[in-house]
Structure 1
Amino acid sequence: MSGLFSTLNTGVRGLTTQQGAIDVTNHNVANANTDGYTRQRAQIVATRPEGMPSMNNAVSAGQLGTGSEINKINRVRDEFVDYQVRQANSVYGENLVQQKAFSEIEGAFDEPSEDALSKDFTTFFGNWSELSTTPESSSARTVVIEQAATVANDIRSTYKNISDIKNNTDGLIQSTVFSVNQKLNDLDQINQQIRRVTQAGETANDLLDKRDVLLDDLSQEFGITIDKDDYSSINLLAIDDGGKAPSGGTVYQPKLINATDTKDEKRLSYVNTITQAKDSDGHDIAGCYEVSYYENGDKTGAHTLKSIKVNMSASEKEELENNRVIVTDLDGNAIKNTDGSALSGTVSYSDLYVFKPRTGELKGYSEIKGNVDKYLTKLNNVAKALAWSVNAVESGSDKIDDGKKTPPIFVNNSKAEYDTTSGKDVLKDGYYADTTAEDAITAENISVNKELIEDPMKIKVNKGTNADGKGDGKVATAVSDIKDALLMVQNIGGSINTRKDLVNGKGFDSDGRLNNNADGTTVPKFLKDLVDALGTQSQSATSQVNHQKSLLNIFEQNRASTSGVSLDEEMSNLIQYQHAYSASAKIISTVDELLDVVVNGLKK
């Protein structure tokens, strides 16, 4: 009788086990198309057998099995593949934002097209060549000055479009920092939930999936390191170069997620402005800056804006302007990069924890800003070289104040002021006296002298007269020939900082042309080289994105082959569990019949 009941219990356990396995299969099928879901597998084990050695057990032929049970429901996950995916994802994020930026910079230059700067230059110098043949022509002069205005406008427009890319990048950094902190907060909650579930003896498979999805998303923004702690919880650290080693210690790495002490977690903040610090009398403090930052990148309220005074050099200021991210504690205080303690008062830049990820979107944004600065600098070189060389040849002098006050073609629109008492714009004498005004011409402020737009006949075209008494057009010819003049354009901003610096190397020939400098390059060639270099970088960035995307796809496919749900496999498992369930039911039915024979047979 006890044997039959034991058999009945074994059958019931079989039913329960197979039912549980069917439930797991059902859960897998239901989530076959759920992003980030990891297929689960019921771990079926034999239950404790009867006949275990003890004082009260009689010797028997052998242990008698008591059935099966589901010991654990496992996620089928390969942690090494997860590591590969996240590493590749981080590099892909960096490459992708760079590729998009280079594409936008290319769009700003718009080469090659009818509206491109190179086309403007060709037309500009060509118009001067035509003017040299008809120097007395008012219409030819008008065409020249209008084309000069077109060149200046297009240079300014290009500069603005590229600058907008840099400004937009700052906005992307801020929104990324805000998004990162939200994900970190979600990760912290899920991490603690997983810890509690695991402490209770359960397996938090679905919560683990949610955590992995967040970790995957986070890895695209910067490289991450995960340290497992007790009860399936994790510590999360960034792979960055911001931390430093204290005396006799190891490099400090802040925990963005702390498994055991959530109060010690760190967050990222977005640097909004860097302005010159002032003393109590309102005077500038040399080398000291007021750094204001949005706590957690949150710009929704003024209460999130904090500031700290930082002593730093020009290069350190530039680095902070490009990175724009610092590490703060949960109270929003900037932290020290050697131990994570809160900073206050006036601090040294070397103590500030500036977030410098080695890979990821945030790294890409920082590099974008550096590249944008390089192209803006080169565009400034083009603007300065054009303005200085044309103005020099036009006036026949290496400085603007030549005693004749020859109206310059190109001016600095932030400095140029005009006298309108005559009914026309006339450049004020103060512009000629302020030699720094022309020196400060950039791609942002280059403009055409309104005086010449009002009266093109003031354009200096002739050096002298021909035998017939007409103008010789030699000045116009000399301006046209600037397109072939070898100048030290590449050194502008270095050893070349004024019109005098640019011209004095070789000066003018007898016809007023700029003499060549064998170590220099032409203005159109410098612009072409700039655009060619941009195209090469853009192609390289696209190639890197494609390569990294292919690599990432391989790793994701490897993960899907391990962790993804295969409906064919699940259906096969379902049939297997169904047959086992039916067999267990048949055993129960058979035992029921045997018990009926025993019980009802005794009545007879």
Structure 2
Amino acid sequence: MTSTFHGLEVAKRGMMAQQTALYTTSQNIANANTPGYSRQRVNFVQTEPYPAASMNRPQIPGQMGTGVEAGSIERVREQFLDVQYRNENNKLGYWDSRSTALSRLEDVFAEPSDNDGLSAVMNEFWQSLQDLSVNPENEGARSVVLQRAQGVVDTFHYLSNSISDIQGDLGNQISVGIKDVNSILKQIAELNQQIGAVEPNGYLPNDLYDERDRLVDQLSTYLNVKVEKMPSGGNALDIAEGQYKITLLDANGNSIATLVDGSQFNQLGFSTEDGKYTSVVSGPIKNIEVYTTPNDPSQTESDPVAGIGVASIDFYTSGNVNFSQGKLRGLMESYGYQTSTDAGGNPIVAGIYPEMQDKLDQLAYTFGTLFNTVQKLGFDLEGNQASKDFFTNLSTIENAASNIQLNSDLQTKDIAASSNGLPGDGKNAINLGNIFSMDLSKDITLEGVKNSDGTPVILSVGKDPGDIDVPITTSTINSYYEGIIGGLGVASQQAQRLSNNSNSLVQSADERRQSVSSVSLDEEMTNLIKFQHAYNAAARNITVMDEMLDKVINGMGVVGR
């Protein structure tokens, strides 16, 4: 038969279970505004009924319940929503960094503009040449041409230097991002160690789970990673989440390298074209390397050169970035990366800023070279064949925009405005003013300029003997520059649109996740009242049992007194 005090024990267990639920509800309310916190709930479990099934059980009608207990306290979290959120967050990190980089480029070029952009400065220069063609002997007109030319040179310098400066900022962001990623990975590894020490004892370290997932959310901004759960072993509960194994994914979703495996983690580093771990600002990124603890005990983890370990992951494959989207990839594609090498072993670089710098260099080199060519075909103010270059420091296409200079030896009288050296002739100034609109895909006939046999001078650009060797050969300088600005505008608009779309998807995924995991004060207050009434009812049950026992003990057995 059951114990006389069976009812007291059942009521006591009910009070303790509801008290645990009240404590958990208080924890949820206290952390309603804590970032990354997932609401917790108590899993009530019936205690073993009496009697146990056996051959010698007492003869009572069936089994009797013995109460309730708090089986476990688990957090409310949906893993599928976490994966969805991190995927969208990864895309947002990529498009946001790319959009920002393109937006900064647009700010540098400031096109279309009536006063600040390169096209406005060029138009002023061409206009000064047109004015000179009308008054070729006018000293003031000649002086304005030189001043406008200096304005063009200064604008090329400004654009080139601004691109280099922002590219340096992007390199610094990459370096900071790498440090942030390494810090996150190290913290996750430490949390894995703590979780691995707690779970085998049968506990659920919910707060450690929350902090680890918060760090993984941060990591997903930088890199596309896959999270796998590894059991901790021992007496861990079935609902224990275990330790995280985090791997880096390539563009096809395949694992490249393990970043965190249990309590271990690998350090990320980046190499430049010389193959050494140096400042990322010094050159295009060649590959991404995973570093382990240094092999040389005299070195530290902050010196990855000594600790190249697990793998060297190619940052590119056949000219394409190898690992999937994320903030780091967006920064690297903007900053520039080495895709391969040419026949001479020199790096071939791709990326938004290197390509924009290269286009600007081609523009400056083509413009300066053509202008010098047409300048030398004309005659100066004294009627002599021009012999001085108008622009200097154009020995190579590379860095032409930052190197181009107005010839310091050039004087106003040296401007070759005349096509024949005769007074009042300004046809070569017209030719100089038309350089911006010359169709470089066709032969160019210069107005008034003739060969020694009296035939018109015809210029051709290209690689054939006698041609002017310039990089722009399929369009006018004007249309080439318009193509640069147009392409930049389209790319920036697309990046901004996809950034906005990704942000909307991130917010949507986060809202769905919060609807499951976040603390609702209304719901918690309802639970508070529910558990309070259950506690009061259990306490009332004890009072009833006490009154019954009092009657049995003190109110019975008094016959015959």
- TM-score tier by shorter-chain length is 0.7 to 0.9
1:437, distance to aligned residue in structure 2 (A): 2.9
Contact 2:287 2:315 (8 Å CA) reproduced: no
* Displacement of 1:458: 1.8
Letter in 1 for 2:291: T
Distance of 2:51 and 2:445 partners within structure 1: 112
1:240 equivalent to 2:250? Answer: yes
Partner Cα distance (2:543, 2:210) in 1: 41
Q: CA deviation at 1:336?
A: 12
User: Does residue 31 of structure 2 align to residue 31 of structure 1?
Assistant: yes
- Corresponding residue of 2:538: 584
After the TM superposition, which parts of structure 1 deviate over 4 Å for at least 4 consecutive aligned residues? 332-337, 340-343, 347-351, 438-441, 513-519
Contact 1:90 1:360 in 2 (8 A): yes
Match of 1:474 in 2: 427
Are 1:485 and 1:515, in contact at CA under 8 Å, matched by a contact in 2? Answer: no
Contact 1:383 1:441 in 2 (8 A): no
CA distance in structure 2 between the aligned counterparts of 1:67 and 1:198, rounded to whole angstroms:
27
Q: Classify 1:78/1:202 alpha carbon distance in 2 versus 1 (closer, same or farther; 3 Å).
A: same
Three-state SS of the structure 2 residue aligned to 1:555 is: helix
Give me the whole-angstrom Cα distance separating, in 1, the residues matched to 2:225 and 2:316.
24
Q: Does 1:464 align with 2:420?
A: yes
Instruction: List aligned pairs for 1:184-195, cutoff 5 A.
Output: 184-195=185-196
- Counterpart check, 1:254 vs 2:212: no
Could you tell me which amino acid in structure 2 is paired with residue 366 of structure 1?
Answer: M
Q: Does structure 2 conserve the Cα–Cα contact (< 8 Å) formed by 1:173 and 1:270?
A: no
1:464 corresponds to which letter in structure 2?
Answer: N
From 319, 322, 325, the equivalent of 1:359 is 325
Q: Deviations over 1:389-421 (max 9, x none)?
A: 111111019xxxxx9661111111xxxxxxxxx
Which residue matches 1:61?
61
CA displacement at 1:241 relative to structure 2: 6.4
Maintained 8 Å contact 1:226/1:235: yes
Please tell me whether the aligned partners of residues 194 and 204 of structure 1 are also in contact (alpha carbons under 8 angstroms).
Answer: yes
Q: Work out the CA distance in 1 between the residues paired with 2:314 and 2:287.
A: 17
C-alpha distance 205-439 of structure 1, shift in aligned 2 (>3 A): closer
Aligned position for 2:164: 163
Distance 1:542 1:349 in 2: 25
Question: Aligned to 1:511, which of 444, 448, 454?
Answer: 448
Decide whether the 8 Å contact of 2:259 with 2:267 is kept in 1.
yes
Distance 1:342 1:253 in 2: 9
Q: CA 1:561–1:544 in structure 2 vs 1: closer, same or farther (change >3 Å)?
A: same
For residues 203-251 of structure 1, what are the alpha-carbon distances to aligned partners after superposition, in whole Å with 9 as ceiling and x for unaligned?
01111000000000000000011111113111111113699xxxxxxx8
Secondary structure of the structure 2 residue equivalent to 1:437: coil
Alpha-carbon deviations, 1:306-346, whole Å to 9, x = none?
xxxxxxxxxxx98xx23563211122567999xx6479xxx
What is the DSSP-based 3-state SS (H/G/I as helix, E as strand, rest coil) of the residue aligned with 1:291? coil
1:445 equivalent in alignment to 2:403:
yes
SS in 2 for 1:450: coil
2:21 aligns with 21
Q: For the structure 1 residues 341 and 334, does the alpha-carbon distance in structure 2 shift closer, same or farther, using more than 3 Å as the test?
A: farther
Letter matched to residue 170 of structure 2: T
Aligned 8 A contact 2:391 2:406 in 1: yes
Written as runs of structure 1 = structure 2, the 5 A alignment for 1:278-357 is 289-293=274-278, 321-322=284-285, 325-331=288-294, 341=310, 356-357=322-323
RMSD, matched Cα: 3.1
What runs of 5+ residues in structure 1 fail to find an aligned partner? 244-250, 275-288, 300-316, 398-402, 413-435, 489-504
Q: CA deviation at 1:56?
A: 3.6
Aligned letter for 1:457? Answer: K
SS at match of 2:51: coil
- Residue by residue over 1:249-299, the C-alpha shift from the partner in whole angstroms, topping out at 9 and shown as x without a partner, is xx874321111x63xx3210233x54xxxxxxxxxxxxxx451347xx9x9
2:537 aligned with 1:537: no
Q: Is the 8 A contact 1:328 1:335 kept in 2?
A: no
Contact 1:4 1:591 in 2 (8 A): no
Residue aligning to 2:72: 72
* Paired positions, count: 501
For residue 375 of structure 1, what is the aligned residue in structure 2?
Answer: 356
TM-score (norm 2): 0.83
For structure 2, which runs of at least 5 residues remain unmatched after alignment?
A: 233-241, 295-300, 336-350, 379-383, 450-456, 463-472
Query: Residues 514 and 562 from structure 1, CA distance in 2 versus in 1: closer, same or farther, beyond 3 angstroms?
Result: farther
Aligned to 1:485: 438
CA shift digits 1:21-57 (9 cap, x unpaired): 1111111111111111111111001111112222442
1:3 deviation in Å?
A: 3.9
CA-to-partner distance for each residue in 1:350-400, whole Å, 9 max, x for gaps?
99xx99431101111121120111111111111012101111111019xxx
Judging changes above 3 Å, is the alpha-carbon distance between structure 1 residues 334 and 252 closer, same or farther for their aligned structure 2 residues?
A: farther
Find the counterpart in structure 2 of residue 390 from structure 1. 371
Distance of aligned partners of 1:405 and 1:123 in 2 relative to their CA distance in 1, 3 Å threshold = closer
Deviation at 1:93, TM superposition (A): 0.3
Instruction: Give the whole-Å Cα distance in 2 for the aligned partners of 1:330 and 1:530.
Output: 46
Q: Helix, strand or coil for the counterpart of 2:136?
A: coil
Aligned amino acid, residue 153 of structure 1? D
Q: What is the one-letter code of the residue matched to 1:116? A: G
The structure-2 alpha-carbon separation of the partners of 1:323 and 1:564, relative to structure 1 and needing over 3 Å to count, comes to farther
- The residue aligned with 2:116 is 115
Q: Do the aligned partners of residues 542 and 66 (structure 1) sit closer, same or farther apart at CA in structure 2, a change above 3 Å counting?
A: same
SS at match of 1:62: coil
| Cα drift, residue 471 of structure 1 | 3.0
Mapped contact 1:269–1:293 kept (Cα < 8 A): no
Deviations 1:501-550 (A, max 9, x none): xxxx7354352376588973221221111111101110000000011111
- The amino acid across from 2:371 in the alignment is V
Q: TM-score, normalised by structure 1?
A: 0.77
Change (3 A) 1:173 1:484: same
Alignment check: 8 A CA contact 2:269 2:277 kept: no
Aligned to 1:551: 505
**1:228 paired residue number:** 229
Cα 1:531–1:471, aligned 2, differ >3 Å: closer, same or farther?
same
* Superimposed CA distance per residue, residues 118-141 of structure 1 (whole angstroms, 9 cap, x where no aligned partner): 001111111000001111111111
Matched position secondary structure for 2:42: strand
Q: Shift of residue 4 of structure 1?
A: 3.7
